Amino acid sequence: MRRFLIPLVVFVVLVVFLAIGLTLNPRDVPSPLKDKPAPAFKLPQLAAAGKTFSPEDLKGKVWLLNVWASWCVSCRQEHPLLVSFSKEGKVPIVGLNYKDQAADAKNWLAKFGDPYVFSAVDADGRVGIDYGVYGVPETYVIDKAGMIRMKHTGPITPESLQKQILPLVAELSK
């Protein structure tokens, strides 16, 4: 009996580990920026090139920073959700237009709707590097003190919005 028990236990442990491994998303790399101040930047705005935006401007507010680009296919996937969510007015969404052409970006927003308070233009992707962007779209939840409290990599789903982002925003807004 003991002869079979040990291999069986080893097998079950292995299966459990593999099952956990299979359900993990390899793209979901924990960001070291969580609970750190949002890196400072000053970038021109997409709609009004004369105006600039810096995270400092939103101190005292909870806001979302959504990294997007017109060339990014997954951004289109999450976009309708962002547009409908922005209409609820629960939290300001600032866009970071990442490595894009201004004309393409403007067309894209005109075509699919503009959920952003405004979009900052990160044409060469330098600010993206400071934020550890590696897979557009990415969304950051930034609190009143200007700290990054959450990073979501990949398109936001209704589920991640309801279960993760909104509860966090509600808690931070208290």
Partner 1 sequence: MKLHSLLVCIALICSGIVAAKEAAPMAADLAIEKRMVAISEELRCLVCQNESLSGSHAELAQDLRREIRKMIGEGKTDQEILDFMVARYGDFVRYRPPMKPTTWLLWAGPFVLLAGGIGALIAFLRRRAKEAAGPALSEEEHRRAAALLDQPKS
How near is the Cβ of 140 to partner 1 at its closest, in Å? 13
Strand runs (DSSP E) across 54-126, as ranges? 63-68, 93-98, 119-122
Binding segment (CB under 8 A) for partner 1, from list 30-38, 45-53, 80-88, 107-115: 30-38
Closer Cβ to partner 1, 31 or 97, answer by number: 31
Do the Cβ atoms of 66 and 82 come closer than 8 Å? yes
Backbone angles phi, psi at 172, to 5 degrees: -70, -25
Euclidean distance between CA atoms 91 and 139, whole angstroms: 13
How near is the Cβ of 131 to partner 1 at its closest, in Å? 7
Q: Is 167 in the site for partner 1 (CB under 8 A)?
A: no
Q: Is 9 in the site for partner 1 (CB under 8 A)?
A: no
Euclidean distance between CA atoms 110 and 96, whole angstroms: 16
Of 65, 76, 74, 93, give the one whose Cα is nearest residue 136.
Answer: 74
Binding segment (CB under 8 A) for partner 1, from list 31-39, 40-48, 60-68, 104-112: 31-39
Closer Cβ to partner 1, 21 or 26, answer by number: 26
- Which residues sit opposite 97 in a β-bridge? 68, 121
Do the Cβ atoms of 147 and 37 come closer than 8 Å? yes
Interface of this chain with partner 1, residues 107 to 166, rule: CB under 8 A = 124-125, 129-135
Q: What is the DSSP letter of 132?
A: T
Rg (CA), the chain: 20
How near is the Cβ of 129 to partner 1 at its closest, in Å? 6
How near is the Cβ of 62 to partner 1 at its closest, in Å? 23
Interface of this chain with partner 1, residues 70 to 99, rule: CB under 8 A = 99
Closer Cβ to partner 1, 100 or 114, answer by number: 100
Kindly list the residues in this chain that would bind partner 1 in the complex (CB under 8 A).
Answer: 26, 29-33, 99, 124-125, 129-135
